[in-house]
Amino acid sequence: MKNRIIIGLLSLALFLLLGSAKPIVVKNDTTTLIISKIEIKISGTSTVGKYNCTNTFYKKDSIILNLNEKNYLKADIPMLNFDCGNKVMTKDLRKTIMCKKFPNSNVTITDIKVCNTDYRCNLSFLITNKTLKYKDFILHKVDNKIHGTIHLNFSDIDLEPPVKMAGLIKVRDEIVIDFSLYNN
């Protein structure tokens, strides 16, 4: 009889304990972006016109949004792969950004969150020996790519814009860096 009372009380306690427990709900509003290619364009102007230098490289990576794990992208940028469409301009760019001393730059995108139809993130960009950091940087979603633009000056990264032909050809200090992350 004692055993029945003890079993009954334990059953009642277990029933009350489990009856008041809330079910565990796993919120699954994560999105995975699969990155297949990265394209970086550096553009600016000089006294003789505009210039555009491009570097495209393939990188397979995934970013899981709305989750703390794998919510970042880190990419090394091979600086020797920039092409300005003109051998002299390409050589000048490589000399200006000191490719021999700094063969790779690095971009790190962290804390990527959906913001309306675009994304908000923290961006860290290492070029030469300078790191530029941007908080709450907006990445725009366009078709099958995510696109961002950085406006800066050569002087922001301790570089001198190239000057040729005794000052007749001068590259302006302002440059624009556009980068696109292509997803599948």
Instruction: Split the chain (184 residues) into runs of 10 and give each run's mean pLDDT.
Output: 57 50 46 83 89 89 68 88 90 89 91 87 90 92 90 89 79 91 83
Task: Count other C-beta atoms under 10 Å from residue 118's C-beta.
Answer: 15
Residue 137 is predicted with a pLDDT of 92
Residue 8 is predicted with a pLDDT of 52
CATH architecture of 27-183: Beta Barrel (2.40)
Each residue's pLDDT tens digit, 7-44: 555 554 445 555 544 444 334 455 777 788 899 999 99
Residue 86 is predicted with a pLDDT of 87
Per-domain boundaries in the chain: 27-183
Residue 140 is predicted with a pLDDT of 92
Residue 67 is predicted with a pLDDT of 62
The secondary structure of 142-157 as a DSSP string is: ETTEEEEEEEEEGGGG
Residue type (1 letter), 173? D
